[in-house]
């Protein structure tokens, strides 16, 4: 009993200490934001800043729902740098944005246009521009970087994100972007080098693009068959730079979090992902917010030139593993005393993703019925990572294809098999 009391007391003391540190962080955030009153329609209030374990949200304009994501580089360190990143700003342009008042007044007409496939009504761009200016909203607001001594740096968002893309996402002189296609016709458009109607967004991680691709009813079957509605684009860094750093950008860099994640934050004080049983939101891994790229019409036209192919199972798995490992490390930084439990949770998720990928590859390669059945026997009904959709699940798809699989493995060919496409990696080689 004494041991239980001592442990409970220690945990309570640690929780109280963490709350105290987060309160001090909130004070630093409030002071930093209000050091630039020219950026807000009214002073930021303390009650609109919420932080837990170094992560949180600062609501700086309740009328326009404009918020900052609060990221602490090392939450276990009370003196760690805090970075305040504007959220969902890529939409703040007269050519794209509509005010809530206009949207509510025109909801019926918008729904009718969607049903009929006719052009949707648009709010007058001058009216939108006036509203955005009045709300002090733009696609390029300030980022606030707050050091322990109170020093505040304020780079512009586009510069901050651009540097992140160059140093984090650029490899071999190229930047890879992904897009998830909800419409069943989008894959054929890209393969025909034709820009699909209404295309606007890309992401630097396949995981965020997956959130949209999984809404496509054919996602899993198409992924297995090598024509997934999740697309890979490769841009030379010089082209990416030219499209971003223009007087009138063709690509606008931004950040995003899902509405479900915000709703979870309002309830619990944490950004959680409803698709993974309300576990911590992955984001780009080391930061729990998503990065996204919005194009204008010209930019979308140019992206046709950079389309490479639908994503492979192996690519999607590699992307998910990298993000899960970075998220694991991020959470360990925030809660070092829970390192073993965090590692166990995220290694379980990684193993679940690997198993799903192995099943999809086995179906793609038409391995034996016995091998697929063996893999399915290991598949937990509750563990879904890559194969998490609202339509037919992976087990159902495997069962429907079982009769087309061979009973025994084919005999080795006398001649060497045709080599795999350049860059292809087997699932077994990955892990």
Per-residue model confidence as pLDDT tens digits over 138-159: 999 999 999 988 899 999 999 9
Structural domain total, the chain: 3
Q: For residue 191, is it within any domain?
A: no
Q: What is the pLDDT of residue 5?
A: 46
Note whether 62 and 148 are same-domain residues. yes
Per-residue pLDDT tens digits for 223-261: 999 999 999 999 999 999 999 999 999 999 999 999 999
Note whether 143 and 43 are same-domain residues. yes
Q: What is the mean pLDDT of residues 12-22?
A: 65
| Closest listed residue to residue 122, CA positions, set 109, 135, 134 | 109
pLDDT band at 413 (very low <50, low <70, confident <90, very high): low
Note whether 83 and 103 are same-domain residues. no
Note whether 146 and 73 are same-domain residues. yes
pLDDT band at 380 (very low <50, low <70, confident <90, very high): confident
Alpha helices in 34-149 (DSSP H): 100-105, 107-116, 125-134
Average model confidence (pLDDT) for the chain?
Answer: 91
Q: What is the pLDDT of residue 315?
A: 97
Q: For residue 289, is it within any domain?
A: no
Put the strands of the sheet holding 170-171 in their side by side order.
Answer: 170-171, 174-180, 230-236, 307-310
Distances (CA, A) of 187 to 190, 199, 211, 322, 329: 5, 12, 16, 26, 35
Note whether 19 and 132 are same-domain residues. no
pLDDT of 419 > 60? The answer is no
Q: In the chain, pLDDT over 90 holds for what percent of residues?
A: 83
Q: Which of the listed residues 155, 182, 201 is the one where a domain comes to its end?
A: 155
pTM for the predicted model, two decimal places: 0.89
Q: What is the mean pLDDT of residues 386-412?
A: 90
Range of the domain at 382: 330-409+423-430
Least reliable range by pLDDT among 9-13, 44-48, 212-216, 371-375: 9-13
In terms of C-beta density within 10 A (0-12 exposed, 13-18 middle, 19 or more buried), how is residue 40 classed?
middle
Beta bridge partners of 235: 175
How far apart (Å, rounded) are the C-alpha atoms in residues 376 and 426? 19
Note whether 151 and 71 are same-domain residues. yes
pLDDT of 11 > 70? The answer is no
Note whether 74 and 124 are same-domain residues. no
Per-residue pLDDT tens digits for 181-215: 999 999 999 999 999 988 999 999 999 999 999 99
Q: For residue 35, is it within any domain?
A: yes
Q: For residue 210, is it within any domain?
A: no
Q: For residue 211, is it within any domain?
A: no
- Name residue, tokens 């297995």: 224
pLDDT of 19 > 90? The answer is no
SS3 233: strand
Note whether 106 and 148 are same-domain residues. no
Note whether 28 and 116 are same-domain residues. no
- Name residue, tokens 């025909």: 192
Per-residue pLDDT tens digits for 165-182: 999 999 999 999 999 999
């Amino acid at each position: 009993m004494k041991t239980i009391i001592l442990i409970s007391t220690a945990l309570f003391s640690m929780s109280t200490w963490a709350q105290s540190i987060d309160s001090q962080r909130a004070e630093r955030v409030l002071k930093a934001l209000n050091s630039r009153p020219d950026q807000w329609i009214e002073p930021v209030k303390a009650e609109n800043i919420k932080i837990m374990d170094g992560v949180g949200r600062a609501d700086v304009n309740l009328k326009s729902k404009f918020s900052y994501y609060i990221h602490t580089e090392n939450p276990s360190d009370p003196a760690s740098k805090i970075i305040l990143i504007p959220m969902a700003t890529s939409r703040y342009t007269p050519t794209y944005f509509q005010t809530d008042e206009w949207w509510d007044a025109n909801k019926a007409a918008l729904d009718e246009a969607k049903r009929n496939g006719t052009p949707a009504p648009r709010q007058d761009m001058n009216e939108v521009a006036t509203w955005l200016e009045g709300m002090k909203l733009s696609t390029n607001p300030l980022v606030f970087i707050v050091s322990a001594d109170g020093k505040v740096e304020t780079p512009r968002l586009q510069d901050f994100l651009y540097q992140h893309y160059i140093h984090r996402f650029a490899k071999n002189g190229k930047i890879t972007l992904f897009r998830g296609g909800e419409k069943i016709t989008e894959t054929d458009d890209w393969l025909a080098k034709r820009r699909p109607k209404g295309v606007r967004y890309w992401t630097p991680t396949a995981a965020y693009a997956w959130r949209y691709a999984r809404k496509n009813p054919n996602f899993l079957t198409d992924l297995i068959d090598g024509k997934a509605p999740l697309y890979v684009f490769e841009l030379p860094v010089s082209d990416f730079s030219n499209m971003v750093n223009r007087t009138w950008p063709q690509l606008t860099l931004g950040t995003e979090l899902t509405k479900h994640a915000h709703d979870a934050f309002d309830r619990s004080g944490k950004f959680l992902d409803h698709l993974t049983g309300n576990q911590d939101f992955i984001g780009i891994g080391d930061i729990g917010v998503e990065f996204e790229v919005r194009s204008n019409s010209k930019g979308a036209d140019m992206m046709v030139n950079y389309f490479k192919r639908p994503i492979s199972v192996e690519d999607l798995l590699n992307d998910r593993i990298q993000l899960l490992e970075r998220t694991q490390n991020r959470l360990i930084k925030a809660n070092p005393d829970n390192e073993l439990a965090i590692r166990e949770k995220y290694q379980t998720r990684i193993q679940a993703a690997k198993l799903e990928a192995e099943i999809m590859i086995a179906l793609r390669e038409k391995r034996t019925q016995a091998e697929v059945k063996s893999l399915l026997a290991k598949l937990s009904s509750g563990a879904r990572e890559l194969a998490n959709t609202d339509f037919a699940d992976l087990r159902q798809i495997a069962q429907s294809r079982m009769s087309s699989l061979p009973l025994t493995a084919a005999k080795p060919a006398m001649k060497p098999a045709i080599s795999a496409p350049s860059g292809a990696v087997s699932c077994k080689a990955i892990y």
